[in-house]
Amino acid sequence: MRILVTGFEPFGGNAVNPSMAVVNALSDSPGLLKRILPVVYADSAQIIRDLIRVEQPDAVLSLGLCGRSSGILLERLAVNVNDDTCGDNAGDCARGRLIDSAGAVGYWSTLPLTAMHVALREKGIPVAWSNHAGTYVCNHVFYTACRAIEQLGGERPCGFVHLPPTGDGGLPLATLIEAVEICLDVIRANVAAK
């Protein structure tokens, strides 16, 4: 079983992006494809499209930072719009711009979110639902990954999880690593059961 898991480089004045730290810390188990994406709309989209097309993973789990969260956020929906006020790391400021003019309005996560939520709560890890992944590069990657899987045909679990910061008001890095390992175990069990 091959699972693609992605994180992001730092952005917006953040010295550290916990999604990058978590992906780098995950064990190099067979079938786990790890990649750090740039916080740049065009580049991140091209990289994840190419990874999905070439590697044909059985599932995709993308991770990002939500600086205002105090726990794990399970994202339900990717929306077909980029809209920000600060620009990406290349200075591209997208205001109300479609991600894909030929794509759907949105894509539901196809990860086993309910089982992930239960497993995280059982371990005492703070977790909450989020109805969409925003309109910045995190959502852009989530949407692009779902679109790429749709274009390949077939069904593969794909979705996005936002992580809190590791400093004050967030969670320790060790807890974030444990949370993502739990999510990956749930995804593996879900794929194996199909």
Please report the pLDDT score of residue 159 as a whole number. Answer: 98
Please report the pLDDT score of residue 15 as a whole number. Answer: 84
Please report the pLDDT score of residue 124 as a whole number. Answer: 98
Task: Name the one residue in this structure whose structure tokens are 């109300």.
Answer: 96
The first and second tokens of residue 112, run together, are: 């086993």
Q: How far apart are CA 132 and CA 56, in angstroms?
A: 25
Q: How far apart are CA 136 and CA 95, in angstroms?
A: 10
Distances (CA, A) of 17 to 58, 76, 173: 26, 22, 11
Q: How far apart are CA 22 and CA 187, in angstroms?
A: 17
Please report the pLDDT score of residue 169 as a whole number. Answer: 86
Is 97 in contact with 87 (CB distance < 8 Å)? no
Distances (CA, A) of 20 to 10, 26, 101, 131, 163: 8, 10, 30, 23, 10
Please report the pLDDT score of residue 194 as a whole number. Answer: 77
* DSSP state, residue 89: T
> What residues are labeled active site?
75, 138, 162
Is 74 in contact with 114 (CB distance < 8 Å)? no
Q: What is the mean pLDDT of each run of 10 residues along the chain (194 residues)?
A: 97 90 93 97 98 96 95 98 93 94 97 98 98 96 97 92 92 97 97 87
Q: How far apart are CA 32 and CA 115, in angstroms?
A: 20
Domains and CATH numbers, the chain: 3-192 (3.40.630.20)
φ, ψ for residue 64, nearest 5 deg: -150, 175
